[in-house]
Every structure is written in structure tokens, then in C-alpha cells.
Structure 1
Amino acid sequence: MDLEMNFSLSFFFLALIPMAVAAFLVHFKGYESRSKKKLPPGEMGLPWIGETIDFYKAQKKNKLFEEFVQPRIHKYGKTFKTRIMGSPTVLVNGAEANKFFLSNEFKLVVSSWPSSSVQLMGKNSIMEKQGEAHRFIRGIVASSLGCLGLETMVPKICKTVQMHLHNNWQGKQIISLFHLTKMLTFNIVFECLLGIDVKPGLLDTFERVLEGVFAPPIAFPGSKFSRAKGARLEIEKMLINVVRKKKEEIDVHGEKEEETLLSRLVTAMINGEISEEEVVDNIVLLVFAAHDTTTFAIAMTFRMLAQHPNAYSLLLQEHESILSNKRPDDELLSLEDTKNMKYTWQVARESMRLFPPIFGSFRKATADIEYEGFTIPRGWKVLWTTYGTHYDAEHFQDPLKFDPSRFEEPIQVQPYAYIPFGGGPRLCAGYQLAKLNILIFVHYVVTQYNWSLINPDEPITMDPLPFPSQGMNIKISPKLK
């Protein structure tokens, strides 16, 4: 949320005030009748605008929980109402709340994203699909990340990581870990999962789309949303060509033995089960969902390792042990090797607890919902948050402390208390790919390089997703073999 965004929001809100007041008066009787039911406590603020500006200010500083949610929890309790981006919204916190709303997807609530996000990610993507349509597309994605899919994925990711380190780390003394890792995870999604070659400039085009996903959906020339729409059209044209070329290949030669997610989606299109638009929109969404959040998770894992040398020492021992059990000429990991990275995954999980890649997600009530003695009216938004449990001492003793042992087997964490990948029917379909990315990347870095963060306490900002404000620069030097 930069200066342009603040000006755009201010102009947008001021222009809508007269209309919002009129709409408020017209629907007053409807609200009056609903008010007879016990709504959650909280402040709604001005018509339409509500508390949006406070929400965005806290978001920009990556302090949504500390500066927006937590003060209201202290004042009203774990369930409270507000108004954000024009919608009456109930924020819910706690493992029971997460379980109730995430497991009732398609029953009491449905996914509900801002108009700008839907337009840029695609109205035919899985995030807008409900019920059987959602399950079908999710099943296609999951089939690429089952046991057989992961077996073939690991060596591909290993080769991509090795090439990335050779091209971008070798011979360097200081690198930007976050920016280079974003390039790597982007390439892994396209090349290893989808089977699509990455052309120069493609990542920059996707970044322009991302800048507009939470911008006001006003397409005046030069606005963030307008630039994002233009970038989205560029991507769409490219992907349509890729999809049609893949369709021709399958029509002529049939499906290859080693299928990619792209070939699975195109096969479903050929069979008349999904449309070309659905193929394109789901590729766009998957790329955004898989690479940005994974990049942040990797960056925060290295941040925690830099700040906790004892944890790094244990992690390094684990990877040196894996390396010692492999032949000298065997540079690629196996899926079994990644399963032996138990402590590394504990470190990564604890890093994602302290620094969740997503803040939470919006749902919309499809009927009046009775919850904890309150009524959430039909049509209202519900926002669940990761921090609402990740930072709660009820679920994690001394929650601000970095302690990977929380995730030792058998894990004692209450279900729906740890939710960096969401939960319920919309649990992130690509979390296994994210896990492989993290484990494999960490392995090659710690076994091949000495490294140190230049600023271990670098501020985290958000626009619209969290990232280290200075790119997380690190000093590196190759280890002697």
C-alpha cells in the first residue's frame, strides 16, 4: 500500500460517501430488523468505509494482528464485528472458530475475495469455485502432488535449485535472498510442476498483476489496478498459446507417460470437463499461490536460523548426515531423503508459525449463522486469522519464542490452531510442493555455502503479501569440499 494507493483509496472513499449514506438509509429497516438479533460486539465506523483505513495502515506495516485485531480482541473478545472494504465483517479468532468456519466451507460460508482479486486471479479459478466444481479441479492439482508425482518432482526441483545456485550464487559475496528465491520458486512452479518454460520478463509481468490484487477496482489509466489488468492480459495471451499448443500435442501424440499438471488440465479440457478459461485462470492462481508464499516461508526460515545458532547447528548435522549416506557422484536427493529432514521441517513449521505467509482469509455467510451466542447475518463477511491462534498462549506456550520442538512427533498441537496453509476443503492444494521447495533449497544451501544475514532483524512489510523490506541480503562463501 504505497502513497498512490492511499490517495486512490481516499479519493475512492470520498466519492462513495454520498452513495453509501443513501444506501444506508434505504436499507436501514433491514438492518434494524437484524439488530434485534444479537450481533457480535464491535464498531462499524462510517457507512461503506468503516474501519478500512485503519485496516490498511496496519496491513502496510505487517502489523494487522498487533495494531488492528489484538486491540479489538482486548476490547470486545475473540469474535467482533467491523466494516472493511464496504462489507460488514466479523473477525473470528481461536482454534474452535477456525475449525467451525473452515470446515463449514460450501455449507454455511463460501470463499469471498475482493472484486479486484477475482478479476486478476480469474473468475474461473478454483478460488471462486464451489462444491463439486471446486473438488474436481482440486483433484487434478492433487493428482500431480500424490506419491508418484512427488517422486518425479524431487529430482526436477533438485536440478532447478542446483542450476539456480550456479547461475545466481556462484562467485558472489552478497546476494538478495528474498528476490533470488522468488525467482527460483517461480521457475519451480512453471517448469517442474506445470512443465512450461519460463521466458525472460515473465516474473516481472506476474509481479505487476500482484500489485493490483487488493487495489480499488477502478481501471483509470495509470492506476495500480489498470496496470495489473494490462499485465493480466499479457499473461492470458501467453498461456492461451501454451494451452492450445499442448492440446495439439496431446491430440497428435496422446498423453506422455510422465504427465505434468498442465497436461492433466488440458486433458480435462479435451474431455469437456473444464473450459480453456478455467485452465488459464487456475494456472494463474496456482502460480501466485505457490511461489510468493513459499518464498516468504524460506526467507523466514533462514532468518530464524540466523538468529538461533543452536537450531542451525542441529539442522546442519541433519543435512550432513543425509549427504554422508549418499554416493559422492549422487548429487540429487530422493523423496526418501526429504522425509528424513524431520528437524528441518520442524524449523520451517515454527518459522511459519511466527511469520505466517498469509494473514488469513475472507468467507461470506450464505445463511444466518449462530455462533457463540451471536448471529452473523447472511451476506456478511467472516475473516479468520492465522495469528489468532499462532500467537495465542492457549495453544502455544510462550508463543513469541522460537521453539522447533513444538512440532516433534507426536505433535501435540490442537487441530486448527496451526494453519499457515489454511484448512478444511480449501486447505492449500500445493502445500506438499511448498514443503519440498523449502527442504530441498535449505539442503543445497547449508551443505554448499557458509552464509550470514546482513540484517537479521530486517523489518517485514506487506504490499500486498509480506516480504523483508530490504530484500534480505546475505553474505555467502562456498564451502570447501
Structure 2
Amino acid sequence: MSKLPGNPGYSVLGDKSLEFYKDPVGFCDHRLEKHASRVFQSRLLNKPTAFVCSVRGMRELLHEKSGVFLKDPTDLMTNMYGDTLVTTNGEEACLLRLSLSSLFSGACLKSWNNDLISVCERHLQTLSASGEPQCVYSLFKCLGTELVLGLFLNIQPDEQPQLYQEITELCTQHWHGLISAPVSLKVPMWSSGFSTALEARDKLMDIIKDKLENDKHGFVGSLGSLPLPHPCCASQHLLLFISALIPKALASLLTSFTLALSGPQQEQIRQRARAEPEFFRCVLLEVQRLWPPFIGGRRIANKDTTIEGFSVPQGQVVMYVSHAVHRDPEVFQQPDDFLPDRWTGRNAGQEQLLCCLGNGPRNCIGAKLTDSFVKTACSYLLTHYDWSLDPPDQNTTYKWLPVSRPAEPLYLSFTRLDAHTQKHTH
């Protein structure tokens, strides 16, 4: 066994959290080159941390040794959401996943199809009506919020506008407290933001408990009738499912899709995606590969082990970095290029090597729902529009935390396709 490359630094003084949060991609790229290794160590959140930036290391961490590398029981997610399938370990996590999996597969998933279509139509059918460019990330975030609150809480903006607005604002307050805490360990007045988040969480929990008691339809009714381990389980999971995290992740993927296929230079790709379902699938995979919505995730080793032959002691924090994993040149040739055809060529059948929404037995339980929604929304856009940056010289660089998205608001103009073109779309 070899020692992990890099230096874990000294307590407090050697911490690299601010450098990482400011530019996680640059942070990793610099060390990948410096150490000539896609696994290295540094200090994050004042803990020695191993960074995994290879496909092989990610699969080892999340799949082959998922019973060795566990979720951090002191993670902020536990404080903000309670004991959920995202924060628990071992038998409890397995039982929760087993109980909840029926709500995200099979008949339940199919029953949501009409809802996905109707939400997309409401938000996307008038994109070109005003003749003005659209701020796409904000647009898609609103779309994702309506989808999440409709599916998981049976709340529609046109039927209960006041309640819908209240929940949306509370989810935003809750989210801001969640994302500020890791960075603000060094920032004065941190506790005030966190306190606001906890207050928002308590108000959301009151609304959720009322829905569970009085609404027996849809997802709320189904969740309330499941044999879950403890009484708070249903409400804690609903809090997780309506989190602002999900609409932001959906907005991230849809924004990346429109940006990747924007402008006259990408007209041929848009035409192929309309005409060839298999190529459309490959485009969506390539969007996930290049622009994963989440930078990665953390685990802790529950015993002495290894990652790619490097020694990892018990208690060591290990973080996989999705952006770097998806650009592993040993697996993805020309890793920085947008090449959808790779998924029917060299990388055919290798979708399981992506960690856009996690990987292995602890991957996102709603991954199929997310895929279905993204496919529905992107298909609608392709079927009805062409689009381009407006103005064309905007800054298209990305920020990667807390969710990947353009560093500055991006505006696109959408042009409705004529009737003849629409007849030839899928």
C-alpha cells in the first residue's frame, strides 16, 4: 500500500476550505497536475481529506466498498433534514431505501408522466411569445419548483398561491442556511443564517405534518401509508424531497442542455437529437458528464482500507469530485469536449461510470424521476424551438458550488419552429 499523495496540512492553518469552495475545479486541477495522481489528499473543513478524481476510485468508493465508506453521521445534512435515507448508514439506510423505492419506480413513476408533461407545457409553451431573451436558470428553477411541490405535496400555484409562495420562500431560507454553514465556519455572524434556516425548517415541518394528516392522495398519501421505522420518518423525507436542492439540480441540467445546444453552430446537433432518439439519449448523457449538478460527496472510512492502492486509515474523510471523475482521460477520451457520439462508440454501455446523482447502492433514489423529467423538458424544447445566446457574447463560465450553473445569469432567445419542422420531430 502506498501513502496518499499530497499534504493533509496542519490544523486550522493548513485548511484549504476557502480555496476549494471558491474554485473547486481549479483546486483539483492544480493538484492533479502537481501530484500526477487522480487520488490525493489535502485538508477540508479542517479534516485531512482524500480527494478521488478517477472513475476507478469513485466506483471503489461508492460501489465496491460502499459498506466501508459511510455517510458522515455529523454531516450538516443530518442537522437540517434529520435521519433520512441520505444521512443514515447500515441496516437503517437499507430498510428506508427498500420502503421508499416503490414510490420512485414502476407504476408510480409512470403515473407522474402526465404531470411532467403538463408542468413543462405551462412553463415552456410561451418562451418566444414576448420576443425577449429568457434568463434560463431562473426559468428552469421555477419549473422545477412547481414540479416538486406538485408531485410531492399536491400543491399547485394556481390553486393555493399563498401557500405555494410561502413554501417556496421557506425552502429558499432553509437552503441558504444549509449551504452557508460549511463555508462560514470562518465568517463572522454565521449563526444568524443558520438560525434562520432552522426556523424555516420548523415552519416547513408544520406544513408537511398537516399535509400528512389531512391529505391522503398522491405521493403524500402513499408516503403516509408506508411502514416506516419511526413516526418522524415520513415528514423528514418530505422535507428532503421538497428541498430547494432538487429544483436547482433540475435547473442546472436544463441550463447546461440549452447552453450546449445553443446557436446556429449547434443546429445540426439539435436536428439529429430531434430525429434520432438514441442520439438524443447520448446528448443527455454527455450533458450529465460535462456539467454534473453536484460537485461530489463525502464519506468516512469505518476501518483501515485502500483507494486505488493508496492507504486510507479508519476515520479518514474521502470525497469524490464528480467534475473530475467525469473527465478521467483513462475512460473518456478528449474529456473536455462535448461528444455525444462517445456513448455509442468507445463508451457505449458505460453509463454506470457517471456519478451525476451518485453511484452504487446509495445513489439518488429519485434518479429515474430526474431522468424522466429532464428528458421530457428537453424533448419539449427540441420539438418546439431553436435557441441561441442573446446577446451572443455573454460570459458562459461556470460556478460549481453549491450547484453547478453559469457564473452570471445567461439569457437565451427562443424561436418557435414552424409547423413543417414540428412534423419531423419525435
TM range (shorter): 0.7 to 0.9
Deviations, residues 355-378 of structure 1 (Å, cap 9, x unaligned): 111121110011111344432111
Assess, with a 3 A threshold, how the Cα gap between structure 1 residues 403 and 369 changes in structure 2: closer, same or farther: same
Given the alignment, which residue of 228, 234, 237 partners 2:203?
237
Q: Does residue 352 in structure 1 map to residue 318 in structure 2?
A: no
- Whole-angstrom distance in 1 between the partners of 2:126 and 2:199: 30
Higher mean displacement: 155-164 or 229-238: 229-238
Q: Could you tell me how far 1:469 is from its partner in structure 2?
A: 2.5
In the other structure, the counterpart of 1:476 is 414
Assess, with a 3 A threshold, how the Cα gap between structure 1 residues 177 and 370 changes in structure 2: closer, same or farther: closer
Q: Could you tell me how far 1:282 is from its partner in structure 2?
A: 1.9
Assess, with a 3 A threshold, how the Cα gap between structure 1 residues 300 and 151 changes in structure 2: closer, same or farther: same
- Whole-angstrom distance in 2 between the partners of 1:372 and 1:284: 37
In the other structure, the counterpart of 2:160 is none
Given the alignment, which residue of 271, 295, 311 partners 1:313?
271
In the other structure, the counterpart of 1:397 is 333
What code does the residue aligned with 1:317 have?
A
Task: Check conservation: 2:104, 2:366, Cα contact below 8 A.
Answer: yes
Assess, with a 3 A threshold, how the Cα gap between structure 1 residues 169 and 113 changes in structure 2: closer, same or farther: farther
Q: Could you tell me how far 1:435 is from its partner in structure 2?
A: 1.2
- Whole-angstrom distance in 2 between the partners of 1:107 and 1:352: 26
Deviations, residues 408-446 of structure 1 (Å, cap 9, x unaligned): 389535575322121111111111111122121122223
What code does the residue aligned with 1:315 have?
A
- Whole-angstrom distance in 1 between the partners of 2:351 and 2:140: 31
- Whole-angstrom distance in 1 between the partners of 2:181 and 2:22: 15
In the other structure, the counterpart of 2:422 is none
- Whole-angstrom distance in 2 between the partners of 1:239 and 1:168: 35
Higher mean displacement: 446-455 or 391-400: 446-455
Task: Check conservation: 2:96, 2:228, Cα contact below 8 A.
Answer: no
Q: Could you tell me how far 1:205 is from its partner in structure 2?
A: 2.9
- Whole-angstrom distance in 2 between the partners of 1:317 and 1:414: 23
Given the alignment, which residue of 264, 268, 274 partners 2:222?
264
- Whole-angstrom distance in 1 between the partners of 2:201 and 2:156: 13
Q: Does residue 435 in structure 1 map to residue 390 in structure 2?
A: no
Assess, with a 3 A threshold, how the Cα gap between structure 1 residues 449 and 380 changes in structure 2: closer, same or farther: same
Assess, with a 3 A threshold, how the Cα gap between structure 1 residues 169 and 181 changes in structure 2: closer, same or farther: farther
User: What is the root-mean-square deviation of aligned Cα atoms in Å?
Assistant: 3.0
Q: Could you tell me how far 1:158 is from its partner in structure 2?
A: 0.7
Assess, with a 3 A threshold, how the Cα gap between structure 1 residues 194 and 108 changes in structure 2: closer, same or farther: same
In the other structure, the counterpart of 2:317 is 381
- Whole-angstrom distance in 2 between the partners of 1:317 and 1:401: 23
- Whole-angstrom distance in 1 between the partners of 2:269 and 2:2: 49
SS in 2 for 1:476: strand
Task: Check conservation: 2:134, 2:411, Cα contact below 8 A.
Answer: yes
Q: Could you tell me how far 1:222 is from its partner in structure 2?
A: 8.9
Task: Check conservation: 1:391, 1:400, Cα contact below 8 A.
Answer: yes
Higher mean displacement: 414-423 or 377-386: 414-423
In the other structure, the counterpart of 2:168 is 203
Instruction: Give the greater-gyration-radius structure (CA).
Output: 1
Assess, with a 3 A threshold, how the Cα gap between structure 1 residues 80 and 285 changes in structure 2: closer, same or farther: same
Task: Check conservation: 2:3, 2:311, Cα contact below 8 A.
Answer: yes
Q: Could you tell me how far 1:264 is from its partner in structure 2?
A: 2.6
Task: Check conservation: 2:294, 2:400, Cα contact below 8 A.
Answer: no
- Whole-angstrom distance in 1 between the partners of 2:295 and 2:73: 14
- Whole-angstrom distance in 2 between the partners of 1:119 and 1:384: 22
SS in 2 for 1:127: coil
In the other structure, the counterpart of 1:80 is 40
Q: Could you tell me how far 1:345 is from its partner in structure 2?
A: 2.2
TM-score for both structures, normalised by structure 2: 0.85
Q: Could you tell me how far 1:308 is from its partner in structure 2?
A: 2.6
Deviations, residues 315-358 of structure 1 (Å, cap 9, x unaligned): 2335xxxxxxxxxxxxxxxxxxxxxx432221111011111111
- Whole-angstrom distance in 1 between the partners of 2:115 and 2:188: 40
Give the gaps of 5 or more residues in structure 2. 158-163, 420-426
- Whole-angstrom distance in 1 between the partners of 2:224 and 2:200: 20
Task: Check conservation: 2:49, 2:319, Cα contact below 8 A.
Answer: yes
Task: Check conservation: 2:153, 2:211, Cα contact below 8 A.
Answer: no
In the other structure, the counterpart of 2:121 is 162
Task: Check conservation: 2:306, 2:312, Cα contact below 8 A.
Answer: yes
Task: Check conservation: 1:210, 1:228, Cα contact below 8 A.
Answer: no
In the other structure, the counterpart of 2:177 is 212
- Whole-angstrom distance in 1 between the partners of 2:148 and 2:199: 20
- Whole-angstrom distance in 1 between the partners of 2:307 and 2:388: 48
Higher mean displacement: 418-427 or 227-236: 227-236
Assess, with a 3 A threshold, how the Cα gap between structure 1 residues 225 and 206 changes in structure 2: closer, same or farther: farther
Assess, with a 3 A threshold, how the Cα gap between structure 1 residues 457 and 142 changes in structure 2: closer, same or farther: farther
In the other structure, the counterpart of 1:130 is 89
Assess, with a 3 A threshold, how the Cα gap between structure 1 residues 370 and 245 changes in structure 2: closer, same or farther: closer
Q: Could you tell me how far 1:38 is from its partner in structure 2?
A: 5.6
Q: Does residue 246 in structure 1 map to residue 212 in structure 2?
A: yes
What code does the residue aligned with 1:192 have?
L
TM-score for both structures, normalised by structure 1: 0.76
In the other structure, the counterpart of 1:12 is none
- Whole-angstrom distance in 1 between the partners of 2:194 and 2:171: 9
Higher mean displacement: 210-219 or 236-245: 210-219
